[in-house]
Amino acid sequence: MASIAVIVWSLYGHISKLSEPIIEGLKKSGANVEVFQFAETLPGEVIEKMHGNKEATASLPVIQPDDLKRFDGYVLGFPTRYGRAPAQVSSFFDQTGALWFSGALVGKFGAIFTSTASQHGGQETTALTTIPWFAHHGIIYVPLGYIAPELNDVESVGGGSAWGASTVAGDGSKQPTKNDLSIALQQGTHFGKVVSQYVKGAAK
């Protein structure tokens, strides 16, 4: 059975909401799933001024670099910041130098999902600019491709791309759509199947 970590950073709850079908899809594939959060780096008073809501992830354990060694794959979820990962995610990867030096993560698998304020707010570039972390660690990036038919919907505002699931948050009041949640479910299932297939083959 593949062991997969879902690691999120969610400021307003959109990523947390999108993680639910990701986790469901992973479990549907037969994978063993553990859920973590990236450590917060913003002071509480700043989060309050930003009207952030951390309740959805408050109970999740904070991921530590050495935790990564226990898993076959990782699905990372975080909102975009100017077309790339937020500082909380960057700070975490800055702490993984020892894992890089020892090659501890070579051959693991990774994927991401994200959210943006607008349709053109960096959903694809956020995935693209995350891949260098994967590449330097030898983590194999697993894209979603176009297996989800909802990706071809051009009649409504929504997220999702060949890179992975995503959602459009607008001013924060817009929540993930039915299509967004369906794409996330399919990404979780697909990722779980890919990693499980590798794990089964490696065990032979």
Q: pLDDT digit string (tens) for 156-197?
A: 888 999 999 999 998 878 889 999 999 999 999 999 999 999
pLDDT of residue 154: 83
Residues ≥6 apart with Cβ < 8 Å to 161: 123, 124, 127, 144, 151
pLDDT at residue number 55: 87
* DSSP class of 31: -
Amino acid identity for residue 50 in this structure: M
Reported as a single tens digit per residue, the pLDDT across 113-161 is 999 998 888 999 999 999 999 999 999 999 999 999 999 988 888 899 9
Write down the mean pLDDT value for the chain: 94
Residue with tokens 């009649």: 155
| Three-class SS state of 19 | helix
Largest CA distance in the chain: 54
What domains does the chain contain, in order, with CATH numbers? 3-203 (3.40.50.360)
Prediction pTM value: 0.95
